[in-house]
Amino acid sequence: MVSRLITHIEKQVALSAEEKSIIEDVLFTEHLKKKQFLFKAGEPCRAKYFVVQGCLRLYITNAKGIDQMIQFGIDNWWITDYLGFKYKKPSVFNLQAVNDAVVIAVDEQQMEELSGKIPKLERYFRLVLETAYGASLMRFNYVFNMSGEERYRFFSTMNPDFVQKVPQYLIASYLGVTPEFLSKIRAKKV
CB of 74 to its own copies, least distance (A): 16
Q: Is 147 among the residues that bind DNA (CB under 7 A)? A: yes
Note whether 143 and 176 are within 8 A (CB). yes
Q: Is 167 among the residues that bind DNA (CB under 7 A)? A: yes
Q: Is 52 among the residues that bind its own copies (CB under 8 A)? A: no
Dihedrals phi, psi of 75, to nearest 5 degrees = -40, 130
180 binds, among its own copies, DNA, none (CB under 5 to 8 A by kind): DNA
Using DSSP bridges, classify how beta strands 37-39 and 94-97 pair: parallel, antiparallel or unpaired: antiparallel
Which residue, 127 or 163, is less far from its own copies as judged by CB? 127
Among 64, 145, 157, 190, which residue interacts with DNA (rule: CB under 7 A)?
Answer: 64
CB of 112 to its own copies, least distance (A): 11
**b/e map of 3-37 (b: 16 or more CB within 10 Å)?**
ebbeebbeebeebeeebbebbeebbebbebeeeee
Q: Is 90 among the residues that bind its own copies (CB under 8 A)? A: no
Q: Is 183 among the residues that bind DNA (CB under 7 A)? A: yes
Note whether 162 and 77 are within 8 A (CB). no
Q: Which residues bind DNA (CB under 7 A)?
A: 64, 147-149, 167-169, 176-184, 186-187
